[in-house]
Structure 1
Amino acid sequence: MKVVKILSNNAIIAATENGQEVVAIGRGVGFGKHSGDTVEPLNIESQFIKKGNELNDVLVQLTSAIPTEYLLLTQQIIQLAQEKLNIDAQESLFFALSDHISFAVHRFNKGIEIKNLLLWDIKQFYAVEFSLAREALALINHKLAITLPEDEAGFIALHLANAKNKDLSSTMQSAGMIKDILNIIKYDLRIAFDETSLDYQRLITHLKFFTLRLFKRENVDHEDKSIYDGIKEGMPKAYLCALKIGDYVEKNALSQLTADETLFLTIHINRIKAG
């Protein structure tokens, strides 16, 4: 493996034998090295594939300012995310997560506690990401001998969800909108949700993708409307509830639901109502 660029004494950009550029991390891996020098694999403690050129300067600043131990922890968490969430290793995720860990530890050492106001929503709507984030939090607390609160797992889960959705603001907006839509369904139909049921989990999954499509302006709209009238007639209460959600979406996301989106919502609402 050859050095391409020194990021810090503990991190470099290197080229593998097949020409693939990677960010390699290890204590002292960059010390005294220059571009073109050979790096022994034994000196590399962690590495991830470098996907682009736009973050070179950010990576230089990041790896210079953040302790190597935090960078290695970040890479361990990303490896878990790759295995369990099928998330691609990205420089942006590495940057955001290592920076967050560093700042979280700094806040902890200063006695500053920040409450995660979206914690309940994250647990409900990003349950898989939150489960992995709790593993990550336990790893951080164990390795650094600290006790960061569960709120931090919520923040980590958002970073992981963002790595899948590519837009943290949309991820956060999505969580808030899902909560509002669930309230519309609950109070309009006067039902209590069984959060352990398969139909509830299907509804949550549908709403995740539904809200993210809204923010991306990616509407689902097919020409065949042959079953639309049958759905309206067969599921009148669920259909009227879906129309109320449409009014909410138009007011809050400035987007009109297509007939298809209304149809899919109606079907999911009817399932949850029947259950």
Structure 2
Amino acid sequence: MNKIKKILNVNVVVIEQNGTEYIAFGKGIGYHAKINQVIPDEKISRIYTSVDNSKQNELIQSLKKIPANIIKTTEEIVEFAEKFLNEKLDASIFYSLSDHLYFATQRLEQNLTLGNRIYLEMKTYFKDEFKIGIFSLNIIEKNLGIKMPQEEAANIAFHIINASSKDESSNVLEISRMIDNILQTLRVISHGKLKYEGINYDRFVTHIKFFAERYINDQMFADDPTLLEKVSDLYPEASKIAFKLKQTLEVIYTKRISKEELAYLIIHIHRVMMY
């Protein structure tokens, strides 16, 4: 039985189930609703997992501030994403994405644009989620009358990735930050020698993604020096850049990069070098 305990807005209420309170989302779920009224299951889009009282109060206060049209927009985006990906997203996205959209609209009103430092990388290796992000911009414009910059598609994609069961095994935020660190470091140490466009760059970014996953999850390739010796001789300029990158990453993350991993980095760096 879903008994209403608090009404946050027309689309969000707090319900009680068997003595435990949950935050419930649903289109019009709070419209003309009353405390202690029972809501049928079919009116609830998603139930946010039970949290401790202090955290639940914080969530409730945050959700009270978010306008109903933003909650509704989030629900439309999630509904579209779930159909597109053919999977149920974690209920946490209803809060995290609503909260993000609320502050994104506020920043736009203040002419403050933060952008997204890994926009191109999200577009390259999370293509389905990025397509959802692009379509979401249309939903936002239709519902809120706000035309958001394309960089927001990457931000929305990030929230979808975090809520996807397909990525439970990897820490998306940590991996994304590492990718950003690698690309920013390369821009500095390569002194403009890398070409940041084209199919080779797409392949390079994909390699960096999988490299970051292996590095963070301690699943590095072997430490066989044979390949490294060969590619170091073949690509001396790319090798210099790769060795500098290796030194930087090992200082930041306090983990060794294996010789074979370094060899593949050299190969991929060479492919995006401008000659």
Alignment TM-score, normalising by the size of structure 1? 0.71
Relative to structure 1, is the Cα distance of residues 3 and 49 closer, same or farther in structure 2, using a 3 angstrom cutoff?
closer
Relative to structure 1, is the Cα distance of residues 205 and 230 closer, same or farther in structure 2, using a 3 angstrom cutoff?
closer
Relative to structure 1, is the Cα distance of residues 122 and 223 closer, same or farther in structure 2, using a 3 angstrom cutoff?
closer
Spell out the pairing of 1:83-94 with structure 2 (5 A cutoff). Answer: 83-84=83-84, 89-94=89-94
Unaligned runs of 5+ in 2: none
| Mapped partners of 1:252, 1:74: distance in 2 | 36
Corresponding residue number in structure 2 for 1:114: 112
Secondary structure at the aligned position of 1:247 is classed as: helix
CA-based RMSD of the aligned residues comes to 3.8
Relative to structure 1, is the Cα distance of residues 268 and 48 closer, same or farther in structure 2, using a 3 angstrom cutoff?
farther
Relative to structure 1, is the Cα distance of residues 57 and 261 closer, same or farther in structure 2, using a 3 angstrom cutoff?
farther
Corresponding residue number in structure 2 for 1:265: 265
Secondary structure at the aligned position of 1:126 is classed as: helix
Unaligned runs of 5+ in 1: none
Indicate yes or no: 2:236 matched with 1:233.
Answer: no
- For the Cα contact (< 8 Å) 2:24–2:45, is it kept in 1? yes
| Mapped partners of 1:115, 1:123: distance in 2 | 14
| Mapped partners of 2:87, 2:202: distance in 1 | 21
| Mapped partners of 1:86, 1:178: distance in 2 | 32
Secondary structure at the aligned position of 2:45 is classed as: strand
| Mapped partners of 1:105, 1:231: distance in 2 | 49
Aligned amino acid, residue 179 of structure 1: Q
Secondary structure at the aligned position of 1:147 is classed as: coil
Instruction: Write out per-residue CA displacement over residues 204-227 of structure 1, whole angstroms, 9 at most, x where no aligned residue.
Output: 02212434555xx433345573xx
Corresponding residue number in structure 2 for 1:220: 219
Query: What is the deviation of 1:76?
Result: 1.8
Query: What is the deviation of 1:153?
Result: 3.8
Indicate yes or no: 2:176 matched with 1:171.
Answer: yes
| Mapped partners of 1:85, 1:208: distance in 2 | 21
Relative to structure 1, is the Cα distance of residues 6 and 63 closer, same or farther in structure 2, using a 3 angstrom cutoff?
farther
Aligned amino acid, residue 206 of structure 1: H
Aligned amino acid, residue 47 of structure 1: S
Secondary structure at the aligned position of 1:135 is classed as: helix
Secondary structure at the aligned position of 1:69 is classed as: helix
Structure with bigger RCO (C-alpha 8 Å, 6+ apart): 2
Corresponding residue number in structure 2 for 1:203: 204
| Mapped partners of 1:67, 1:235: distance in 2 | 57
Equivalent pairs: percent with the same residue? 22
Aligned residue pairs: how many? 254
| Mapped partners of 1:263, 1:179: distance in 2 | 20
Aligned amino acid, residue 182 of structure 2: M
Alignment TM-score, normalising by the size of structure 2? 0.71
